[in-house]
Amino acid sequence: MNEALQSLVDLLDLEQIDRDIFRGASRPSVVERAFGGQVASQALAAAGRTVPADRAVHSLHSYFLRPGDPRAPIVYTVDRIRDGLSISNRRVVAVQHGKPMFHLSASFQLYEEGLEHQEPMPAAPDPLTLPTAREQVSRYAHLFADPRVIRRMVQVRSAVDLRYVDAPPYGSIGQPRDAKSQVWFRMNGKLDGDLDRPLLHACLATYVSDMTLLDPVLLAHGRGGWAVGDVVGASLDHAMWFHRPFRTDEWLLYDQRSPTASGGRGLAKGRIFTQDGQLAVSVVQEGMIRVPRPRAAAAPEGGGPAQN
């Protein structure tokens, strides 16, 4: 694996400081706060460390409470809610600077046979025919006022080979289109030996799932995104359901869409498919999406109130 992927794997290898207390490092993201996918994946890693190895995560539900400081470590405290005959439930609170900034509930299940059906995988081009993230960013470099943003975007995503099927939000400024997006992704390297664990693959998928999920909200309105344009946004909550086994070092299709946006928030849904068409993960997230408010009109003659 490359150095960036090794760094990401190390980020998920939390330091255990007590029976159910773990500490994780942070690292910079494109914006000046800890990346939400990092916090969610570390919280899942902490929960998974307290569960029997034969129980795989099947769902997680989380809320982002405060922005994370990328320069400070995060402490994760796990509450062992219940261990049943086939299901284990865990609750995790992430604390930074003495305040809770994220919490997650996760459920783990012992594998069992059951009914099987799924939605079909949507059509998508071969990932190897699509531009890499570095090529994509270079294509739109003229849109970035600060070249350091380009370097941060490439650096943050260097552990993951992530390829857009169509233009990303920063390549569609002022051009509203359907509220949907597709990306292919895989880790930049093989995870084998001790690293080939279902929990690690689930944590890595959790990390990537927060990278592009709000894109369809921006695309519907022709907004450029967090690094280009005038939009301010943040993840509010994040939920995932893990349906079938998958590997994050093999190509996965992330099919995303937004059914609605209102009240300064946007809702997005995602489905992650293996390359052979198996529906592996479902994702739902609501994010805060704020745009600059127009200035109030000048007060009319006579001193009456301005109309907003």
Cα–Cα distance, 162 to 187 (Å, whole number): 8
Nearest to 254 by CA among 134, 161, 136: 161
Nearest to 248 by CA among 185, 182, 156: 185
Catalytic one of 42, 96, 107, 285: 285
Q: Which residues contact 142 (CB under 8 A, 6 or more apart)?
A: none
Catalytic one of 161, 210, 249, 255: 210
Give me the amino acid identity at 84: G
The residue written with tokens 């270079």 in the block is 138
Helix (H, G, I), strand (E, B) or coil at 42: helix
Helical ranges in the chain per DSSP H? 3-12, 36-48, 133-139, 147-156, 198-209, 215-219
- Active-site annotation holds for 235: yes
Q: What is the DSSP string of 212-245?
A: STTHHHHHTTT---SSSSS-EEEEEEEEEEE-S-
Residue 279, strand partner residues: 273
- Active-site annotation holds for 38: no
Instruction: Give the CA dihedral 280, 184, 229, 154, nearest 10 degrees.
Output: 120
Catalytic one of 26, 96, 181, 235: 235
| CA 262 to chain CA mean position, Å | 21
User: Residue 285: CA atoms inside 13 Å, Cβ hemisphere, count?
Assistant: 28
- Active-site annotation holds for 210: yes
Q: What's phi and psi for 266, nearest 5 deg?
A: -130, 140
Nearest to 110 by CA among 195, 46, 51, 60: 51
Cα–Cα distance, 110 to 105 (Å, whole number): 17
Q: Active-site positions?
A: 210, 235, 285
